[in-house]
Structure 1
Amino acid sequence: MIVAGEDKRRRHRESGWWGDKTFADLFAANAEAHPQRLALVDAPNRGDFAFGEPQRLSYAELEAEVDRIAGALIVAGIGKDDALLVQLPNISEFVALYFAAAKIGAIVSPAAVQYRSHELKGMISVVEPKAFVCATQVKGCDHVGVAAPLLDGIRLMTFGPNPPAGALDLSTAAGDEVALAAHVAANPVDADDIFTICWTSGTTGVPKGVPRSHNHWIAVAGAGYEAMKVGPGDVLLNPFPLINMASIGGITMCWLTSAGTMVLHHPFDPGIYLRQIATERPSLTIAPPAVLNMLLQNEALLAAGDLSSLRVIASGSAPLAPAMVRGFQEKLGIIIVNVFGSNEGMSFITGEGDMPDPDKRASLFPRRGTYQRPYGEGRAPNIESRLVPPGGGDPIEADGVSGELQIRGPTLFEGYHNAPERTAEAFTDDGWFRTGDLFEIAEGGDFYRFVGRCKDLIIRGGVNISPEEIDQLLGGHPLLAEACTFSLPDPTMGERIGLAYVPRGADDVGIGEVTDYLRGHDLAVFKLPERLFRFDALPRNVTNKVMRSEVRDMALATLEKEA
């Protein structure tokens, strides 16, 4: 397992970004200070997608559940640095399990509920878990049945009714207070210890595990806390699965920092989501761009809901449409915060204070953002960054020149778990992480603008074109529910521009209706799509990102049939 070297630990601690608090410490402090405050709320439809009645737990009640589970894990032989591969939906037990593991020094490696044997087999080979934890009931899934054949020598643990023979039923298992206290005393957890091993979103080949310590997560929190203007005791609605940067580093860390109330939601259902906003009265939430575009354009759905409690919605994972960001601010008084992050430790966040103009906030990120350090006085950047030409060369300093973003600093992981070759490929010789993302400097050097993924660039007649730039503009098209731009092979130009779209109504959308709209936004002519493909829905991965390569493959298959 890769952990920070002594030199990095020293520098990060001296900088004020790393310290001695663990997730368990942060939670215990909140429980002691606010035992009766509402800590955690299940989704109202929990029984439909999983099992059991929705829970509403105070900090004292959640702390008791954390201790029970932690004691049960100790009795079952789970100890410090043992890995738990966990496949659970967003239910209160998942949150309790995280903090139980933090208390005993175990490692949580969370897997998406949609994953099946192909992905799980790869994860097991990488992380070598001591136990696999899942629910006995999840709508549309058989996690026990899928995982059981893969668990050679790995203990099966479950939450939910009718646990299989031989499994440890964590819903009912009694903890051992004496054994837990003895373990904690004998096995102190360091904030530099690895706490999670999350996974990159790609699912082809062997997945990449991303180890992160307590300090890695805490260093990420400051930017989101400030950009979203989180206040003490805030209510936060979390619809993203508890498996990645947005959910753990975003909502969960803000919840811990504010000693607030976290409201869970899963799987995404617009009706349930709006009902939770109306009844639980959150101050902030997160949502993918496609959902926000849909909500803003569905006046009937918005009229039936009550969003008046919301101050902020954070969004990311894909370019934001300026029309959407402006629409939420002007029509509903809700600030959209632009987020760009990754499990490896990338974390750029643009709030209203960083960029008041909603149109610009949709595409810009602070280049030199400073935040309050958790273990030091004053403010400082929590990430260092530079742009380097994709083919190599000196760092870029001029506005408007695309380059690969490279980062380093206290938020950044140290390397992929049990994958030295992939780690070596991901880092430069001088220690910078290659994100694979193309950015350009903007606004006189104060901001970055996302251009696209290095591998997704369309090269038409020798000119580089960012598909994300076109997607972003089309996010405001009144006839399109979704749009995805990609390259098509061309014998003359090398590549041309294809566009897959989902119409907002029943009728097809013509190429002229798309290109006229883009011309109206003053897009260069050579960037206009040249072939349209109508889809019923765009394929997305488990983090709700459109799978551009799969869209392209589907379009090429259509062309082959036409040939």
Structure 2
Amino acid sequence: MEAGASTGARRLHPPERVAEYTAAGWWEGATVDSLLRARVREHPGRPALVDPLNKADLVDSPPLRLTWAEIDAEADRLAAVLLRHGLGQGDVLGVQLPNTAEQVCVYLACWRIGVIVSPLPVQYREHETVQLGRLASFDAFVTASRIGVRRVAADVLAVRDRIPSLRLVLAYGTDVPAGAVALADEAALPYDPAAVSAYTGAHPAGPNDCVTICWTSGTESTPKGVPRCHNDWLAIARTCAEAPRMTSDDVLLNPFPMVNMAGFAGLFLPWLRVGCVLVQHHPFDLPVFLRQIAEEHVTYTVAPPAVLTMLLAREDLLAATDLSSLTRIGSGSAPLSEAMVRGWQERHGIGVINFFGSNEGTGMLTDPYDVPDPADRARYFPRYGAASGVRWSTLAADWTSLRLVDPATGADIEEPGVPGELRIKSPQVFAGYLHGSRLPSPFDASGYLRTGDLFEIAGARGEFLRYVDRAGDLIVRGGMNIAPAELEHLLSGHPAVAEVAVVACPDAVLGERVCAVVVPEQGAVVTLADLTGHLRELRIASYKLPERLEVRGALPRNPVGKVLKRTLREELG
């Protein structure tokens, strides 16, 4: 997909793939807006969406509890505002909002009229806004006058001239700065619903139309845009709703920012599929999280492994919280420990579902129904398509084709215990990167996605895959991905830094933290405060800042000069 300024639907997958997957029933031909309209027809007055308890600490707008009909009406009003300001099908809207009702309604408004959403984490600052806004050619940007203590709308306006395509900034909240449109005020103006209907009738959404451009935080210094259409998002949502056996009676608690695979596929889109209640949470705050489980009678949530491990060690917290409604939990983003999965199951009767995924579409899961043993569920994922005599209940088993490939020879691996790169073909896999013609193809000659993740065949019948290692050097800090190459590029601009390597160091709570290993310039002294101060001046997201500094005389390298980051990680513990 190539971004541009012209308005019009941007279709992602080739027609032959759409025809094949639709004929097989893997793609249903639905759109996100058609799911919303179905929920409104079924249960217009039923509670559907609940704001975070601490919303007042985040933004200047009151906490909301909305029914399906109220969500639909607000999405329609916001769609009218976007149309009034010249946005329409195929335009790209950058969105930087916390998990709130407003965020949900903005997304749904965009998808009603064909506007593409490019969501940014609230931690991103001017550096990332400019970088991604230029890559995706943002036509407009929606944020809040305040998110926490930051005046985000003002920050965006300050860099507006550095994003040539950006013609409009809209903001929620009070004290909206001059130059931005006060979105809540605009949405309160009278509008004609028939005008929105007329627009959608003249510009119908197709299931192959792009709806989001999310962003990788891979090992490259420049993030890659991952466009997604209705078809592949809703295929992912089918399996993520199926894994916990989600129904319309569930109450979901969402602590993951709705900016990428975890936030969209884990709870948001499954919520639209089944029509239950979605309770928003942001930023992650353990006392608030536990209070929401008790007060909202939450039945299903997702959480990083480090949080679930820490909670098991804090029986005092769990004993003081009513968890009686909670029946299952999803987790992923890092390998799960057997002790954690077993502890939740045996002490609290709660099954943990093991998810493995990526923005590009590596989608696998191990649930308590197919794999009741906690040890197997923590270590393994189903080897879909293997002739092992094992039947998997998930739809993904029927529509997913997997390969393990020897990275050196390119040969397929069929024997257990031999690591190979996982390659995958599925209706959950994306069509290709933004500006893909300028990048190496992520697909092999047979059309399989090259994931870069190493697995090996396991299990008595070869029915499982075991995760071996994460490709590249990605750092996962509390569920947030950090690209070392980006930080290395920025830190190398510090006058006292001769060489730098950024690697993960282990952390009991967050899983990993950022460590900068620096070789100083001759005679220079480098401190952690120097490095973080340098990065803060570049207006980079604070969660990326190094939290540990190691000063070395030289970096370990292999015979061809490549820095041995694995050696550094081992030395750091």
Q: Work out which of the residue numbers 391, 394, 398 in structure 2 matches 1:381.
A: 398
Q: Does 1:136 align with 2:145?
A: yes
Match of 1:273 in 2: 289
What amino acid sits opposite 1:156 in the alignment? V
Q: Is the 8 A contact 1:407 1:432 kept in 2?
A: yes
Partner SS, residue 71 of structure 1: helix
Q: In the TM superposition, what are the counterparts of 1:326-475 in structure 2 within 5 Å? A: 326-368=342-384, 381-422=398-439, 424-443=440-459, 444-456=461-473
Match of 1:185 in 2: 201
Match of 1:12 in 2: 21
Partner SS, residue 185 of structure 2: coil
- Range with greater deviation from structure 2 (226-235 or 303-312): 226-235
Alpha-carbon distance change, 417 to 40 in structure 1, aligned in 2, over 3 angstroms = same
Q: Work out which of the residue numbers 229, 248, 263 in structure 1 matches 2:264.
A: 248
What amino acid sits opposite 1:401 in the alignment? V
Q: Which runs of 5+ in 2 are unaligned?
A: 3-11, 385-390, 478-502, 510-527, 533-540, 556-570
TM-score, length of structure 2 as denominator length = 0.79
Alpha-carbon distance change, 290 to 503 in structure 1, aligned in 2, over 3 angstroms = closer
In 1, Cα distance between equivalents of 2:13 and 2:507: 45
Partner SS, residue 381 of structure 1: helix
TM-score, length of structure 1 as denominator length = 0.80
Q: In the TM superposition, what are the counterparts of 1:49-68 in structure 2 within 5 Å? A: 49-68=58-77
Q: Is the 8 A contact 1:48 1:139 kept in 2?
A: yes
CA-to-partner distance for each residue in 1:432-488, whole Å, 9 max, x for gaps?
21111111111122111111123359xxxxxxxxx99xx9xxxxxxxxxxxxxxxxx
Q: Work out which of the residue numbers 97, 104, 107 in structure 2 matches 1:95.
A: 104
Identity of aligned residues (%): 43
Partner SS, residue 410 of structure 2: coil
In 2, Cα distance between equivalents of 1:55 and 1:172: 17
Alpha-carbon distance change, 558 to 148 in structure 1, aligned in 2, over 3 angstroms = farther
Partner SS, residue 291 of structure 1: helix
Partner SS, residue 362 of structure 1: helix
The Cα of 1:380 is off from its aligned counterpart by 5.4
Alpha-carbon distance change, 132 to 204 in structure 1, aligned in 2, over 3 angstroms = farther
The Cα of 1:429 is off from its aligned counterpart by 2.3
Q: In the TM superposition, what are the counterparts of 1:148-297 in structure 2 within 5 Å? A: 148-152=157-161, 153-173=166-186, 174=189, 175-202=191-218, 205-297=221-313
The Cα of 1:26 is off from its aligned counterpart by 0.1
In 2, Cα distance between equivalents of 1:499 and 1:186: 51
Q: Which runs of 5+ in 1 are unaligned?
A: 374-378, 458-466, 472-497, 505-534
Q: Is the 8 A contact 2:154 2:177 kept in 1?
A: no
Count the aligned residue pairs.
Answer: 478
Q: Work out which of the residue numbers 296, 299, 313 in structure 1 matches 2:315.
A: 299
Alpha-carbon distance change, 280 to 557 in structure 1, aligned in 2, over 3 angstroms = farther
Q: Is the 8 A contact 1:119 1:207 kept in 2?
A: no
- Range with greater deviation from structure 2 (354-363 or 162-171): 162-171
Q: Is the 8 A contact 2:50 2:64 kept in 1?
A: yes
Alpha-carbon distance change, 327 to 242 in structure 1, aligned in 2, over 3 angstroms = same
What amino acid sits opposite 2:212 in the alignment? T
The Cα of 1:180 is off from its aligned counterpart by 1.0
Q: Is the 8 A contact 2:403 2:422 kept in 1?
A: yes
Partner SS, residue 385 of structure 1: strand
The Cα of 1:116 is off from its aligned counterpart by 1.1
What amino acid sits opposite 2:182 in the alignment? D
In 2, Cα distance between equivalents of 1:203 and 1:7: 32
In 2, Cα distance between equivalents of 1:450 and 1:440: 7
Match of 2:42 in 1: 33
In 1, Cα distance between equivalents of 2:508 and 2:331: 23
Match of 2:5 in 1: none
Q: Is the 8 A contact 2:168 2:180 kept in 1?
A: yes
In 2, Cα distance between equivalents of 1:341 and 1:156: 33
Q: CA RMSD in A?
A: 2.8
CA-to-partner distance for each residue in 1:314-333, whole Å, 9 max, x for gaps?
00000111101000001111
Partner SS, residue 426 of structure 1: coil
